[in-house]
Amino acid sequence: MADIRDTQPPRLPKFPMGGEGLIESRLSLLTAEDDQDSRRFFDQQASTIDMTAAALLNCEFRNLAIDTIIAERTHVNHVLVDSCRTALLDIRSIGMENSIAVHCSFGAVQANTAKIIGMEIRGCRIDYLNCRDAICRDIMFRDCEIGELDGNDAKFSRIAFAGTRIDVLSLQHAICADVDLRGARLREIRNVDSLHGTTMSLEQIADLSEVFARSIGIRTQ
C-alpha cells in the first residue's frame, strides 16, 4: 500500500496588524472602477458601497457597518477587515490575495467564481458562504461560525478549519486537495461522496455516521 502523505496546512502570508502611514478616509471614496492605496476606513456606516472592478491595496477597514457591499471583479491585496458588519457581501469574481478578516459578521457572502489566495478568517460569523466555481487556496478559518458553506464545483486546496462550526457543508463536484476538516464541528454534510481530498478525524466520522448512512441509503434503527 502506498504511503499516505500528511495533510498540508495553508501557507499564510505574514500580515502585521495595525499598518502605519495609512491615510484616514471616508467611505464615499469607495466607488466603482477606482483604485485605493494605503487608506484606513474607520468607524463609519453606509447603506450601499459599490466597488465594482475597483482595486484595493494595503488598506484597512475597521468598525464599519454597511448594509450592502458590491465588490464584483474587484482586485484586493494586503487588506485588513476588522470588526465590520454587512448583510450582503457580493464579491463574485473577485481577485483577493494576502488578506485577513477578524471579528466580522457577514450575512450572505456571494464569492462564486472568486479567486482567493492566502487569507485568514478569524472569529467571524458568516450566515451563508457561496464559493461555487471559486478557486480558493491557502485559507485558514479560525474560531468562526458558518451557517452554510456552499463549495459546489469549486477548487479548494490547503484550506483548514480550526475551532470552526459549520452547520451545512456542500462540496458537490468540488475538487479538493488538503482540505482539513479536523478542526470543524460539522452538523450536516450534503453529498458525502464528494469529500475526496478532505481530511477528517475518526471521531468526526463516528459522530456523523448517521449522516453518512442516510446519504447512501442505509436505514438506521
The structure's pTM equals 0.91
Contacts of 60 (CB under 8 A, 6+ apart): 19, 22, 39, 40, 41, 42, 79, 80, 81, 82
Nearest to 76 by CA among 137, 19, 117, 25: 117
Q: Which residue has the higher pLDDT, 214 or 137?
A: 137
pLDDT in tens, 143-200: 999 999 999 999 999 999 999 999 999 999 999 999 999 999 988 888 777 788 899 8
| Distance (Å) of CA 195 to CA 8, 48, 65, 150, 183 | 16, 37, 36, 13, 16
| Distance (Å) of CA 78 to CA 4, 75, 116, 119 | 35, 10, 12, 9
Is-contact 182 203, C-beta < 8 A? Answer: no
For residues 93, 99, 167, 48, the Cα torsion angle rounded to the nearest 10 degrees is -60
pLDDT in tens, 8-61: 999 998 766 666 789 999 999 999 999 999 999 999 999 999 999 999 999 999
- One-letter amino acid for residue 133 of the chain: D
pLDDT in tens, 50-72: 999 999 999 999 999 999 999 99
